[in-house]
Amino acid sequence: MSRAAFVISSVIAATVVARAADIPLDQRRSDSDFISADTRAIQNDDTANPAMLAVLDGETLWNTKAGATNKSCADCHGDAEKSMKGVAARYPAFAAELGRPVDLEQQINLSRVADQKAEALPFESKELLALTAYIARQSRGMPVAVKDDAQAKPFIAAGRAIFEQRQGQLDLSCAQCHDDNWGKKLAGNPVPQAMANGYPIYRLEWQEVGSLQRRLRNCMSGMRAEPYDFGAPELVDLEYFLMWRARGLAMESPAVRP
Amino acid sequence: MARALIHVPATAKKGDVIEIKTLISHVMETGYRIGVTGQPIPRDIIDDFVCTYNGEEVFHAKLYPAIAANPFITFFTVATESGTLAFSWTDQHGATQVQTAAITVE
Protein backbone atom coordinates (compact mmCIF):
# COMPACT_ATOMS: atom_id res chain seq x y z
CA MET A 1 0.00 0.00 0.00
CA SER A 2 1.36 3.39 -0.93
CA ARG A 3 1.89 5.92 1.82
CA ALA A 4 -0.91 8.17 0.48
CA ALA A 5 -3.39 5.33 0.34
CA PHE A 6 -2.46 4.36 3.88
CA VAL A 7 -3.10 7.90 5.15
CA ILE A 8 -6.46 8.06 3.38
CA SER A 9 -7.60 4.70 4.69
CA SER A 10 -6.50 5.70 8.21
CA VAL A 11 -8.55 8.87 7.97
CA ILE A 12 -11.58 6.91 6.80
CA ALA A 13 -11.11 4.42 9.65
CA ALA A 14 -10.82 7.27 12.18
CA THR A 15 -14.02 8.86 10.84
CA VAL A 16 -15.89 5.58 11.17
CA VAL A 17 -14.63 5.04 14.72
CA ALA A 18 -15.43 8.62 15.78
CA ARG A 19 -19.07 8.22 14.87
CA ALA A 20 -20.98 6.69 17.78
CA ALA A 21 -24.00 4.51 17.27
CA ASP A 22 -27.65 5.43 17.75
CA ILE A 23 -28.70 6.06 21.35
CA PRO A 24 -29.84 2.69 22.73
CA LEU A 25 -33.63 2.58 22.99
CA ASP A 26 -33.66 2.31 26.78
CA GLN A 27 -31.32 5.28 27.19
CA ARG A 28 -33.50 7.73 25.29
CA ARG A 29 -34.87 10.61 27.33
CA SER A 30 -37.25 13.38 26.45
CA ASP A 31 -35.65 16.80 26.10
CA SER A 32 -37.76 17.87 29.08
CA ASP A 33 -35.37 15.76 31.19
CA PHE A 34 -32.62 18.22 30.37
CA ILE A 35 -34.41 21.47 31.17
CA SER A 36 -34.67 23.15 34.58
CA ALA A 37 -37.28 21.98 37.07
CA ASP A 38 -38.89 25.43 36.83
CA THR A 39 -39.32 25.23 33.06
CA ARG A 40 -40.66 21.69 33.37
CA ALA A 41 -43.18 22.89 35.96
CA ILE A 42 -44.41 25.56 33.52
CA GLN A 43 -44.82 22.93 30.80
CA ASN A 44 -46.76 20.53 32.98
CA ASP A 45 -49.21 23.08 34.40
CA ASP A 46 -51.91 23.97 31.87
CA THR A 47 -52.60 27.22 33.72
CA ALA A 48 -48.93 28.25 33.45
CA ASN A 49 -47.93 26.84 30.06
CA PRO A 50 -48.11 29.84 27.69
CA ALA A 51 -48.62 27.52 24.71
CA MET A 52 -52.07 26.79 26.13
CA LEU A 53 -53.06 30.26 24.88
CA ALA A 54 -52.29 28.98 21.37
CA VAL A 55 -54.19 25.76 22.09
CA LEU A 56 -57.27 27.82 23.01
CA ASP A 57 -56.88 29.87 19.82
CA GLY A 58 -56.59 26.59 17.93
CA GLU A 59 -59.82 25.32 19.45
CA THR A 60 -61.58 28.44 18.21
CA LEU A 61 -60.12 27.99 14.72
CA TRP A 62 -61.11 24.31 14.72
CA ASN A 63 -64.71 25.41 15.05
CA THR A 64 -64.49 28.37 12.66
CA LYS A 65 -65.90 27.97 9.16
CA ALA A 66 -63.46 28.74 6.37
CA GLY A 67 -63.06 28.59 2.61
CA ALA A 68 -65.47 28.24 -0.30
CA THR A 69 -67.17 25.22 1.28
CA ASN A 70 -67.87 27.26 4.44
CA LYS A 71 -66.97 24.31 6.60
CA SER A 72 -64.99 24.16 9.82
CA CYS A 73 -62.56 21.41 10.76
CA ALA A 74 -65.18 20.27 13.28
CA ASP A 75 -67.85 19.89 10.58
CA CYS A 76 -65.96 16.89 9.20
CA HIS A 77 -63.73 15.75 12.06
CA GLY A 78 -66.12 16.41 14.95
CA ASP A 79 -64.77 16.65 18.45
CA ALA A 80 -60.98 16.97 18.20
CA GLU A 81 -60.55 15.48 21.67
CA LYS A 82 -61.73 12.20 20.16
CA SER A 83 -60.94 12.40 16.44
CA MET A 84 -57.45 13.91 16.81
CA LYS A 85 -56.34 11.76 19.73
CA GLY A 86 -53.00 10.22 18.80
CA VAL A 87 -52.84 11.85 15.37
CA ALA A 88 -49.86 14.12 16.08
CA ALA A 89 -47.93 11.12 17.42
CA ARG A 90 -48.18 9.60 13.92
CA TYR A 91 -46.83 12.58 11.94
CA PRO A 92 -44.96 13.08 9.65
CA ALA A 93 -46.92 10.57 7.60
CA PHE A 94 -47.13 9.58 3.95
CA ALA A 95 -49.50 11.71 1.86
CA ALA A 96 -50.60 9.66 -1.15
CA GLU A 97 -51.59 12.77 -3.15
CA LEU A 98 -48.02 14.10 -2.95
CA GLY A 99 -46.22 10.77 -3.05
CA ARG A 100 -44.12 11.77 -0.05
CA PRO A 101 -44.50 12.43 3.68
CA VAL A 102 -45.92 15.62 5.13
CA ASP A 103 -45.73 16.96 8.66
CA LEU A 104 -48.76 17.93 10.72
CA GLU A 105 -48.68 21.57 9.60
CA GLN A 106 -48.62 20.52 5.96
CA GLN A 107 -51.42 18.01 6.53
CA ILE A 108 -53.59 20.76 8.04
CA ASN A 109 -52.96 22.86 4.94
CA LEU A 110 -53.66 19.93 2.58
CA SER A 111 -57.04 19.53 4.25
CA ARG A 112 -57.71 23.27 4.19
CA VAL A 113 -57.04 23.46 0.46
CA ALA A 114 -58.66 20.17 -0.62
CA ASP A 115 -61.61 19.93 1.76
CA GLN A 116 -62.37 23.48 2.90
CA LYS A 117 -61.33 25.10 -0.42
CA ALA A 118 -59.52 27.67 1.70
CA GLU A 119 -56.09 29.19 1.30
CA ALA A 120 -53.16 27.44 2.90
CA LEU A 121 -51.96 29.12 6.08
CA PRO A 122 -48.37 30.41 5.91
CA PHE A 123 -45.69 28.48 7.79
CA GLU A 124 -45.16 29.82 11.34
CA SER A 125 -48.35 31.90 11.12
CA LYS A 126 -50.16 32.26 14.41
CA GLU A 127 -53.17 30.44 12.99
CA LEU A 128 -51.27 27.41 11.69
CA LEU A 129 -49.31 27.08 14.92
CA ALA A 130 -52.50 27.40 16.96
CA LEU A 131 -54.27 24.65 15.02
CA THR A 132 -51.20 22.44 15.19
CA ALA A 133 -50.84 23.02 18.94
CA TYR A 134 -54.52 22.25 19.48
CA ILE A 135 -54.34 19.01 17.48
CA ALA A 136 -51.01 17.98 19.03
CA ARG A 137 -52.41 18.63 22.52
CA GLN A 138 -54.86 15.78 21.96
CA SER A 139 -51.96 13.31 21.81
CA ARG A 140 -50.30 14.33 25.05
CA GLY A 141 -49.06 11.31 26.96
CA MET A 142 -49.42 8.95 24.01
CA PRO A 143 -46.36 7.20 22.59
CA VAL A 144 -44.75 8.54 19.42
CA ALA A 145 -45.69 6.01 16.72
CA VAL A 146 -44.81 7.14 13.20
CA LYS A 147 -45.09 4.51 10.49
CA ASP A 148 -41.83 2.90 9.40
CA ASP A 149 -43.14 0.61 6.68
CA ALA A 150 -41.50 0.08 3.28
CA GLN A 151 -43.12 3.25 1.93
CA ALA A 152 -41.70 5.37 4.77
CA LYS A 153 -38.25 3.84 5.06
CA PRO A 154 -36.52 5.75 2.23
CA PHE A 155 -37.67 9.07 3.71
CA ILE A 156 -36.56 8.13 7.22
CA ALA A 157 -33.22 7.08 5.72
CA ALA A 158 -32.95 10.42 3.91
CA GLY A 159 -33.63 12.20 7.19
CA ARG A 160 -30.97 10.15 8.91
CA ALA A 161 -28.48 11.06 6.18
CA ILE A 162 -29.08 14.76 6.87
CA PHE A 163 -28.85 14.14 10.63
CA GLU A 164 -25.48 12.49 10.21
CA GLN A 165 -24.13 14.81 7.51
CA ARG A 166 -21.54 17.34 8.62
CA GLN A 167 -22.65 20.77 7.47
CA GLY A 168 -22.03 24.49 7.75
CA GLN A 169 -18.92 26.48 8.53
CA LEU A 170 -18.59 24.67 11.85
CA ASP A 171 -18.60 21.36 9.94
CA LEU A 172 -20.91 19.75 12.48
CA SER A 173 -23.58 17.13 12.12
CA CYS A 174 -26.71 16.95 14.26
CA ALA A 175 -25.53 13.52 15.44
CA GLN A 176 -22.25 14.81 16.81
CA CYS A 177 -24.09 16.77 19.47
CA HIS A 178 -27.33 14.86 19.93
CA ASP A 179 -26.15 11.24 19.54
CA ASP A 180 -22.54 11.45 20.67
CA ASN A 181 -22.47 14.21 23.29
CA TRP A 182 -25.93 14.52 24.81
CA GLY A 183 -25.89 15.27 28.53
CA LYS A 184 -22.70 17.30 28.23
CA LYS A 185 -22.75 21.09 28.25
CA LEU A 186 -22.81 23.55 25.38
CA ALA A 187 -22.46 27.19 26.48
CA GLY A 188 -23.47 26.18 29.98
CA ASN A 189 -26.62 24.34 28.92
CA PRO A 190 -27.07 20.57 28.75
CA VAL A 191 -27.14 19.15 25.22
CA PRO A 192 -30.44 17.24 24.91
CA GLN A 193 -31.01 14.18 22.74
CA ALA A 194 -33.15 16.15 20.27
CA MET A 195 -36.26 14.06 20.72
CA ALA A 196 -39.14 15.61 18.77
CA ASN A 197 -41.98 14.53 21.07
CA GLY A 198 -43.11 17.99 22.22
CA TYR A 199 -43.74 20.07 19.10
CA PRO A 200 -44.96 22.66 18.52
CA ILE A 201 -43.08 24.15 21.46
CA TYR A 202 -43.24 27.38 23.38
CA ARG A 203 -39.61 28.41 23.44
CA LEU A 204 -38.79 30.94 26.14
CA GLU A 205 -36.10 32.41 23.92
CA TRP A 206 -38.66 33.03 21.17
CA GLN A 207 -41.36 34.18 23.59
CA GLU A 208 -43.83 32.42 21.34
CA VAL A 209 -44.88 29.09 19.91
CA GLY A 210 -42.84 27.65 17.04
CA SER A 211 -42.65 24.53 14.91
CA LEU A 212 -40.07 21.78 14.70
CA GLN A 213 -39.05 23.19 11.30
CA ARG A 214 -38.30 26.55 12.91
CA ARG A 215 -36.25 24.79 15.59
CA LEU A 216 -34.31 22.81 12.98
CA ARG A 217 -33.59 25.95 10.97
CA ASN A 218 -32.36 27.55 14.21
CA CYS A 219 -29.91 24.73 14.79
CA MET A 220 -28.69 24.94 11.19
CA SER A 221 -28.05 28.67 11.56
CA GLY A 222 -26.18 27.83 14.74
CA MET A 223 -23.96 25.47 12.78
CA ARG A 224 -23.58 28.27 10.24
CA ALA A 225 -25.17 26.12 7.58
CA GLU A 226 -27.73 27.36 5.06
CA PRO A 227 -31.10 26.37 6.58
CA TYR A 228 -33.59 24.61 4.31
CA ASP A 229 -36.68 26.66 3.48
CA PHE A 230 -39.87 26.09 5.43
CA GLY A 231 -41.69 23.15 3.89
CA ALA A 232 -38.59 21.82 2.12
CA PRO A 233 -38.74 18.05 1.66
CA GLU A 234 -35.36 17.73 3.39
CA LEU A 235 -36.80 19.30 6.56
CA VAL A 236 -39.77 16.94 6.51
CA ASP A 237 -37.46 13.93 6.04
CA LEU A 238 -35.43 15.15 9.01
CA GLU A 239 -38.60 15.61 11.06
CA TYR A 240 -39.68 12.09 10.09
CA PHE A 241 -36.34 10.64 11.16
CA LEU A 242 -36.45 12.55 14.47
CA MET A 243 -39.94 11.31 15.27
CA TRP A 244 -38.97 7.75 14.35
CA ARG A 245 -35.94 8.15 16.60
CA ALA A 246 -38.27 9.28 19.42
CA ARG A 247 -40.65 6.34 18.88
CA GLY A 248 -42.31 5.18 22.07
CA LEU A 249 -41.58 8.35 24.04
CA ALA A 250 -44.64 10.10 25.46
CA MET A 251 -45.91 13.12 23.55
CA GLU A 252 -45.60 16.37 25.53
CA SER A 253 -47.06 18.82 23.03
CA PRO A 254 -47.15 21.70 23.47
CA ALA A 255 -43.87 21.53 25.36
CA VAL A 256 -41.95 24.42 26.92
CA ARG A 257 -38.26 24.73 26.19
CA PRO A 258 -35.64 27.29 27.23
CA MET B 1 -58.43 42.12 23.48
CA ALA B 2 -56.52 39.02 24.24
CA ARG B 3 -56.76 35.45 25.35
CA ALA B 4 -56.36 34.99 29.13
CA LEU B 5 -56.12 31.92 31.35
CA ILE B 6 -57.03 32.23 35.02
CA HIS B 7 -56.75 29.67 37.76
CA VAL B 8 -58.65 30.27 41.00
CA PRO B 9 -59.65 27.41 43.31
CA ALA B 10 -63.42 26.86 42.99
CA THR B 11 -63.81 26.36 46.73
CA ALA B 12 -61.71 27.17 49.80
CA LYS B 13 -62.04 27.18 53.58
CA LYS B 14 -62.36 30.56 55.28
CA GLY B 15 -58.90 31.81 56.17
CA ASP B 16 -57.10 29.57 53.68
CA VAL B 17 -54.20 31.04 51.72
CA ILE B 18 -55.06 30.44 48.06
CA GLU B 19 -52.83 30.63 45.01
CA ILE B 20 -54.08 32.52 42.00
CA LYS B 21 -52.48 32.18 38.57
CA THR B 22 -53.08 34.38 35.55
CA LEU B 23 -51.71 34.21 32.06
CA ILE B 24 -52.57 36.59 29.23
CA SER B 25 -51.42 36.63 25.62
CA HIS B 26 -49.58 39.81 24.75
CA VAL B 27 -46.47 40.56 22.69
CA MET B 28 -44.96 42.86 25.37
CA GLU B 29 -42.90 44.56 22.69
CA THR B 30 -40.14 46.44 24.50
CA GLY B 31 -39.68 49.31 22.05
CA TYR B 32 -35.96 48.62 22.06
CA ARG B 33 -35.89 46.14 19.20
CA ILE B 34 -35.14 46.96 15.57
CA GLY B 35 -37.39 45.51 12.85
CA VAL B 36 -36.37 44.05 9.49
CA THR B 37 -36.66 47.47 7.85
CA GLY B 38 -34.17 48.99 10.31
CA GLN B 39 -36.87 50.98 12.07
CA PRO B 40 -37.46 50.53 15.82
CA ILE B 41 -40.48 48.34 16.61
CA PRO B 42 -42.80 50.60 18.65
CA ARG B 43 -43.30 49.79 22.30
CA ASP B 44 -46.51 47.88 23.01
CA ILE B 45 -46.95 46.59 26.53
CA ILE B 46 -49.49 45.90 29.24
CA ASP B 47 -48.44 48.27 32.01
CA ASP B 48 -50.95 47.64 34.77
CA PHE B 49 -52.58 44.62 36.41
CA VAL B 50 -55.10 44.67 39.25
CA CYS B 51 -56.99 41.95 41.08
CA THR B 52 -60.00 42.82 43.20
CA TYR B 53 -61.83 40.46 45.54
CA ASN B 54 -65.47 41.49 45.94
CA GLY B 55 -64.44 45.00 44.97
CA GLU B 56 -61.47 45.22 47.31
CA GLU B 57 -58.04 45.47 45.73
CA VAL B 58 -55.88 42.52 46.82
CA PHE B 59 -53.07 42.66 44.27
CA HIS B 60 -51.71 45.38 42.01
CA ALA B 61 -48.69 45.28 39.71
CA LYS B 62 -47.02 47.76 37.40
CA LEU B 63 -45.44 46.15 34.33
CA TYR B 64 -42.47 47.49 32.41
CA PRO B 65 -40.75 46.56 29.12
CA ALA B 66 -38.54 43.96 30.81
CA ILE B 67 -41.55 41.68 31.37
CA ALA B 68 -41.58 38.79 28.87
CA ALA B 69 -44.34 38.20 26.33
CA ASN B 70 -47.53 36.55 27.60
CA PRO B 71 -47.19 37.80 31.20
CA PHE B 72 -47.74 35.09 33.80
CA ILE B 73 -48.62 36.60 37.17
CA THR B 74 -49.19 34.42 40.18
CA PHE B 75 -49.85 35.51 43.76
CA PHE B 76 -51.53 34.52 47.00
CA THR B 77 -54.47 35.92 48.91
CA VAL B 78 -56.61 34.87 51.87
CA ALA B 79 -60.02 33.37 51.18
CA THR B 80 -62.34 35.58 53.21
CA GLU B 81 -65.82 35.19 51.70
CA SER B 82 -67.64 33.76 48.71
CA GLY B 83 -67.78 36.04 45.73
CA THR B 84 -65.95 37.19 42.67
CA LEU B 85 -62.34 37.85 41.86
CA ALA B 86 -61.94 40.36 39.04
CA PHE B 87 -58.73 40.65 37.05
CA SER B 88 -57.96 43.61 34.87
CA TRP B 89 -55.07 44.20 32.53
CA THR B 90 -54.54 47.66 31.06
CA ASP B 91 -52.22 48.32 28.16
CA GLN B 92 -50.20 51.47 27.52
CA HIS B 93 -52.97 52.85 25.28
CA GLY B 94 -55.48 52.61 28.13
CA ALA B 95 -57.42 49.62 26.79
CA THR B 96 -58.53 47.38 29.62
CA GLN B 97 -59.53 43.75 29.63
CA VAL B 98 -61.44 42.39 32.59
CA GLN B 99 -62.07 38.77 33.43
CA THR B 100 -63.72 37.32 36.50
CA ALA B 101 -63.69 34.07 38.45
CA ALA B 102 -66.04 32.89 41.18
CA ILE B 103 -64.96 31.37 44.49
CA THR B 104 -67.04 29.67 47.16
CA VAL B 105 -65.72 30.01 50.72
CA GLU B 106 -67.05 27.59 53.30
Domain count, chain B: 1
Candidates B6, B7, B23; nearest CB to A50: B23
What CATH number does the domain containing B16 carry? Answer: 2.60.40.10
Q: What is the pLDDT of residues B38-58, one digit of tens each?
A: 999 999 999 999 999 999 999
Tell me what the pLDDT averaged over chain A comes to: 93
**Least confident segment among A17-31, A148-162, B17-31:** A17-31
CA of B103, closest CA in chain A: separation in Å? 17
- Subunit contact A208:B6, Cβ cutoff 8 A: no
**Largest Cα–Cα distance of chain B, in whole Å?**
58
Catalytic residue among A73, A174, A177, A219: A219
Task: Give the pLDDT of residue A21.
Answer: 85
Spell out which residues of chain B touch residue A56, defining contact as CB-CB under 8 Å. Answer: 3, 5
Tell whether A39 lies on the interface with B, counting CB pairs under 8 A. Answer: no
Bridge pairing between strands A208-210 and B56-62: unpaired
Task: Say yes or no for a CB contact (<8 Å) between B5 and A204.
Answer: no
Q: Which of A42, A45, A53, A202 to mutate to test the interface with B (most CBs of B within 10 A)?
A: A53
First to last CA, chain B: 34
Cβ contact (<8 Å) for B21 and A47? yes
Write down the pLDDT at residue A58.
97
Q: Other CB atoms closer than 10 Å to residue A134's CB: what's the count?
A: 26
Q: Is the pLDDT of residue B104 over 90?
A: yes
Say whether the peptide bond before residue B40 is cis (omega within 30 degrees of 0). no
Report ipTM for this prediction.
0.89
Question: Do B5 and A52 lie within an 8 Å CB cutoff?
Answer: yes
Contact by Cβ (8 Å): B4, B71: no
Task: Decide if A47 and B6 are in contact by the 8 Å CB cutoff.
Answer: yes
Quick check: B81 pLDDT over 50?
Answer: yes
Contact criterion met (CB < 8 Å) for A56 and B3: yes
Catalogue all structural domains in chain A, each as residue range(s) with its CATH number. Answer: 28-258 (1.10.760.10)
Contact (Cβ atoms closer than 8 angstroms) between residue A147 and residue A160: no
Separation CA A152–CA A162 (nearest Å): 16
- Give pLDDT, residue A17: 45
Q: What is the pLDDT of residue A1?
A: 44
Q: Which domain holds residue B59?
A: 4-105
pLDDT digits (tens, 9 = 90+) for A23-46: 999 999 999 999 999 999 999 999
Is A219 among the catalytic positions?
yes
Q: Which amino acid, A152?
A: A
- Look up the pTM and report it: 0.90
Indicate the residue of A42, A48, A53 with minimum beta-carbon distance to B3: A53
Neighbours of A13 (CB within 10 A): 10
Size of interface A-B (CB pairs under 8 A): 35
* Crossing angle of the two packed helices A153-164 and A233-245, in degrees rounded to 10: 90
- Show residues of chain A in contact with B21, CB under 8 Å: 45, 47-48
The reply to whether B60 touches chain A by the CB within 8 Å rule is: no
